[in-house]
Structure 1
Amino acid sequence: MDRGKFSLLLLDPGEIYFEDFSAVLIPPDVTPKTFDSKKQDGRLKMCSKSLVFDPKDINKPILKIPLKDCVVIEQWKGSAKYLANSSNVLAVNCREYIEMLEGNIVAPYKFKESTNFLFQLNYANIMNCLPQICQLHRASTLPAAEQADMIATIVHSRQARVSFDPLWLDLYEKVVMETEADKVTPLVINPGRLVLTTARLFFQPYNNVETVPVIKIELNSIKRMVKRRFLLRHIGLEIYSGENCNNPHIYLSFRNQAKRDNLYDKLLQEPALKLEELDQDVMTLQWQNGIISNYDYLLYVNSLGDRTINDLTQYPVFPWIVSNYSNNELDLKDPVNFRDLSKPVGALDKVRLRRLLERYEEMSHPKFMYGSHYSTPGFVLFYLARLYPHYVLCLQSGRFDHPDRMFNSVGDVFKNCQTNMSDFKELIPEFYDVEEEGKFLVNNLGINFGYRHNGLKVGDVELPPWAESPKNFVDKLRGALESDIVSQSLHQWIDLIFGYKQQGEEAIKANNLFYHLCYEGNVDLDSIQDLNQRHALEVQIMEFGQIPKQVFKVPHPSRKVGLPLLTEPYQVKSTETEDLWRNMNLLESVSTFNTHKNTVSRLFISDDCTRVTSVGHDSKLKVFSLQQNRQIRSANIGYMPLSSCVQMPNVNILVIGSWDNQIILYDLDYGKVTESVLAHEDAITCISWGTKSNILVSGSGDCTVKIWKGLNTNGVIKPIQCLQKQIDHNSHVNCLDFDHNNNYLAVGTEDGEIYIWQTKEFILKKKYQINSSSITTINYSPDDVKLAIGSKNKTLLVIDVETGLSVFTKMMKSPISSLKWDGFLLILGCDDGNLFIWDMVEVKLLYEVHQAHSGAIKTVDISSDKSIIITGSEDRLIKVWKPK
Structure 2
Amino acid sequence: MDKSRFSLLLLEPGEIYFEDFSCTLSDKESVKVDSARQGWLKLCSKSLVFEPRDWAYPLVKLQFKDCDALSVVKSHDDSNYIIKIKIKQFAEMLVDNVLAPYKFIYEKKDFFIFFHFASAEECLSQMEQLQRASTLHAPEHNSMVATILHSRYMRMVFDPVMMDDFTEEIICELQAEKISPLVRHQGKLALTSTTIYFQPFSNVESSPVLKLKLSHLKRLYKRRFLLRQVGLEIYSSEESSVPHIYLTFQSERARDRIYKILEDSPYVNLERAHAEEITLQWQNGIVSNYDYLMYLNCLADRSKNDLTQYPVFPWVVADYTSEVLDLNKVETFRDISKPMGALNPDRLEKLKERYDEMCDPKFLYGSHYSAPGLVLFYLVRKYPQYMLCLQNGRFDHPDRMFNSVKDVYNNCLRNMSDFKELVPEFYDTDSKGDFLVNRYEIDFGERHDGTKVNNVALPPWASSPEDFVVKLREALESEYISRHLHLWIDLIFGYKQRGEEAVKANNVFHHVCYEGAVDLERVYDMNDRHALEVQIMEFGQVPKQLFTKPHVRKIIQRVPAPMCCVEQNAYSYEMECVDVIRLHKEAVTCAVRQGTRVISVGKDGALKVYDTTQRKQIRSVILSTTPLSSCVMVGDNMVAVGSWDNEIYLYDVEYGRVVESFRAHDDSVSCLLWLDKERLLISGGCDGVVRVWSHVGHVGQALRGLRVELDHDVKVTTVTFRRRRNEIDLITGTSDGEVFIWDVQTRELTKICAHISAVSSACLVLSGDRVVTASGDGVMNVTDLSVSHSVYQKHFPAAVSSLCWDGSSVLWVGGGGGDGNGALLQWNLVTVTQLSEIKAHDDSINSIHFDEGSKTLITASKDKTIKIWQLKKVS
TM-score by length of 1: 0.94
Q: How does 1:448-847 map to 2 (within 5 A)?
A: 448-562=443-557, 571-572=564-565, 574=567, 579-581=571-573, 589-606=577-594, 608=595, 610-649=596-635, 651-711=636-696, 714=698, 717-720=701-704, 722-739=705-722, 743-764=728-749, 766-822=750-806, 823-830=808-815, 832-847=821-836
Q: Secondary structure at the match of 1:131?
A: helix
2:109 equivalent in structure 1: 115
Structure 1 residue 462: Cα displacement? 0.7
Aligned partner of 2:145 among 141, 151, 158 = 151
CA contact (8 A) 2:445 2:452 kept: yes
- The two structures, once aligned, show a CA RMSD in angstroms of 2.1
Q: Does 1:90 align with 2:83?
A: yes
CA contact (8 A) 1:290 1:565 kept: no
Q: Does 1:106 align with 2:103?
A: no
Aligned partner of 1:362 among 357, 379, 382 = 357
| 846 and 882 in structure 1: CA distance in 2 versus 1, 3 angstrom threshold | farther
Output one character per residue of 1:619-662: Cα deviation in whole Å (capped at 9) or x when no partner.
1112233344443332222222111111124x421121111111
CA contact (8 A) 1:740 1:782 kept: no
| 386 and 592 in structure 1: CA distance in 2 versus 1, 3 angstrom threshold | same
Give structure 1 stretches of 5+ with no counterpart: none
Structure 1 residue 574: Cα displacement? 4.5
Structure 1: distance between partners of 2:367 and 2:853: 58
CA contact (8 A) 2:86 2:110 kept: yes
Q: Secondary structure at the match of 1:526?
A: helix
| 629 and 298 in structure 1: CA distance in 2 versus 1, 3 angstrom threshold | farther
Structure 1 residue 260: Cα displacement? 0.6
Q: Secondary structure at the match of 1:445?
A: coil
1:861 equivalent in structure 2: 849
1:10 equivalent in structure 2: 10
1:880 equivalent in structure 2: 868
CA contact (8 A) 1:228 1:235 kept: yes
Structure 1 residue 147: Cα displacement? 1.3
Structure 1 residue 31: Cα displacement? 7.0
Q: Secondary structure at the match of 2:793?
A: strand
Query: Structure 1 residues 651-660 or 799-808, which shifts more?
Result: 799-808
1:415 equivalent in structure 2: 410
Q: Secondary structure at the match of 2:650?
A: strand
AA partner of residue 789 (structure 1): T
Structure 1 residue 524: Cα displacement? 0.5
Structure 2: distance between partners of 1:347 and 1:102: 46
CA contact (8 A) 1:738 1:746 kept: yes
AA partner of residue 751 (structure 1): D
Aligned partner of 2:195 among 186, 200, 204 = 200
CA contact (8 A) 1:376 1:546 kept: yes
Structure 1: distance between partners of 2:179 and 2:558: 40
Q: Does 1:63 align with 2:60?
A: yes
Q: How does 1:45-444 map to 2 (within 5 A)?
A: 45-75=42-72, 77-81=73-77, 85-87=79-81, 89-113=82-106, 114-167=108-161, 168-444=163-439
Query: Structure 1 residues 536-545 or 633-642, which shifts more?
Result: 633-642
Structure 1: distance between partners of 2:445 and 2:190: 47
CA contact (8 A) 2:858 2:867 kept: yes
Query: Structure 1 residues 695-704 or 257-266, which shifts more?
Result: 695-704
Identity %: 48
Structure 2: distance between partners of 1:871 and 1:537: 63
Structure 1: distance between partners of 2:60 and 2:71: 18
2:20 equivalent in structure 1: 20
Output one character per residue of 1:151-178: Cα deviation in whole Å (capped at 9) or x when no partner.
1222122122222222223255332222
Structure 1: distance between partners of 2:224 and 2:347: 33
Give structure 2 stretches of 5+ with no counterpart: none
Q: Secondary structure at the match of 2:298?
A: helix
Structure 1 residue 730: Cα displacement? 2.1
Q: Secondary structure at the match of 2:474?
A: helix
CA contact (8 A) 1:386 1:443 kept: yes
Structure 1: distance between partners of 2:153 and 2:613: 78
Query: Structure 1 residues 730-739 or 251-260, which shifts more?
Result: 730-739
| 686 and 158 in structure 1: CA distance in 2 versus 1, 3 angstrom threshold | same
AA partner of residue 24 (structure 1): T
Query: Structure 1 residues 348-357 or 379-388, which shifts more?
Result: 348-357
AA partner of residue 731 (structure 2): A
| 588 and 652 in structure 1: CA distance in 2 versus 1, 3 angstrom threshold | closer
Query: Structure 1 residues 872-881 or 220-229, which shifts more?
Result: 872-881
Structure 1: distance between partners of 2:279 and 2:859: 30
Structure 2: distance between partners of 1:475 and 1:563: 25
Structure 1: distance between partners of 2:427 and 2:701: 61
Structure 1: distance between partners of 2:79 and 2:276: 69
Q: Secondary structure at the match of 2:586?
A: coil
Structure 1 residue 472: Cα displacement? 0.4
AA partner of residue 79 (structure 1): S
| 564 and 428 in structure 1: CA distance in 2 versus 1, 3 angstrom threshold | farther
| 580 and 492 in structure 1: CA distance in 2 versus 1, 3 angstrom threshold | closer
| 693 and 486 in structure 1: CA distance in 2 versus 1, 3 angstrom threshold | farther
AA partner of residue 38 (structure 1): S
CA contact (8 A) 1:291 1:565 kept: no
Structure 1 residue 448: Cα displacement? 0.8
Structure 2: distance between partners of 1:518 and 1:717: 67
CA contact (8 A) 2:772 2:780 kept: yes
Q: Secondary structure at the match of 2:556?
A: coil
Q: Secondary structure at the match of 2:352?
A: helix
Output one character per residue of 1:724-746: Cα deviation in whole Å (capped at 9) or x when no partner.
11111222111111125663211
| 469 and 485 in structure 1: CA distance in 2 versus 1, 3 angstrom threshold | same
Structure 1: distance between partners of 2:559 and 2:396: 43
Structure 1: distance between partners of 2:701 and 2:796: 40
Structure 2: distance between partners of 1:563 and 1:433: 28
AA partner of residue 93 (structure 2): M
AA partner of residue 62 (structure 2): I
CA contact (8 A) 2:336 2:488 kept: yes
Q: Secondary structure at the match of 1:42?
A: strand
| 279 and 21 in structure 1: CA distance in 2 versus 1, 3 angstrom threshold | same
Structure 1 residue 790: Cα displacement? 1.0
AA partner of residue 159 (structure 1): Y
Query: Structure 1 residues 470-479 or 162-171, which shifts more?
Result: 162-171
Q: Secondary structure at the match of 2:470?
A: helix
Query: Structure 1 residues 327-336 or 833-842, which shifts more?
Result: 833-842
CA contact (8 A) 1:564 1:571 kept: no
Structure 2: distance between partners of 1:865 and 1:347: 55
Structure 1: distance between partners of 2:280 and 2:514: 28
Q: Secondary structure at the match of 2:533?
A: helix
Structure 2: distance between partners of 1:288 and 1:63: 55
Structure 1 residue 663: Cα displacement? 1.7
